[in-house]
Structure 1
């Protein structure tokens, strides 16, 4: 597989967005805030075999029209943190918003087709971030995401997806997981 610089830059955008979302919100006095959050639970099979549960929040990352807009869900656990699961919707037309109820494809991030979701699953064995393995749908993964309801700040959904981890050159698949579960997420203001 060969990837153009343009496709690699889109992959880089996803990584930067993930970095932004892992930061904890803080008050003006620097103290960490406690927000009401949603919840998530899912099963991972394949290279990793686990039952996971944790919190779920979502955020809208908006730029100027014509630039990538992102609706991003962050699911994670704590004490120790052993995973993040991050489905996202990227679009270049219109503003980022929670999708309407329905079933959507999860697939490659490189095409940036409207209403195509991508997914990243990070596995941190025993909370060890240095031994992280990232599985994604960026190049080959596939699956579906079903939005059951969107009510105010809350979104309820279920999903089933196959994701892969790649070698350092993103040329060869080195591992595969299948993930199935559900979440109810709360909007976190982007300010």
Structure 2
């Protein structure tokens, strides 16, 4: 495990290892969409959503030495360029800056090479080289993969597709919140997750 972190120290003085955060969010997001065609993209989105935190500038930001850092676009771009997972890419980006338009122009604009030249939010990428980021991910033993994608290479913006993308987005946001909360509520014994709520009794509600 690398000494690279997702979050600062909690009340027990423990930093949140980035590899643990990515793996945990991936697992939680996948569980929220278990037994649906969207589960694979949710799992991938969890693994990649904070990929840019492997960058040196983000690690400096955790120490209060930097600010104005984009740590999500590397993950969104990897989802598109390597895994053809458009829903995961939009969920990753949307988790940080709000869901954006499903269009070829917008997706191509996530390319880190373009963002380095002209970032729409006037931010800097956390690292200059995506290969450095990916190498650190692999060093942490994380090897993303995906079998089934929602869209593939098709930009099919039907109502049902957009609802599916919002489901992946929603589950990623919830999973990230739960794991981050568990870290900051953690003790010397580890993360402390909130107790699950009561199960939905759909038939009884009807």
TM-score normalised by L of structure 2:
0.27
- Of Structure 1 and Structure 2, the greater helix share is in 2
TM-score normalised by L of structure 1:
0.28
Larger RCO (alpha carbons 8 Å, 6+ apart): 2
Larger radius of gyration: 2
- Of Structure 1 and Structure 2, the greater strand share is in 1
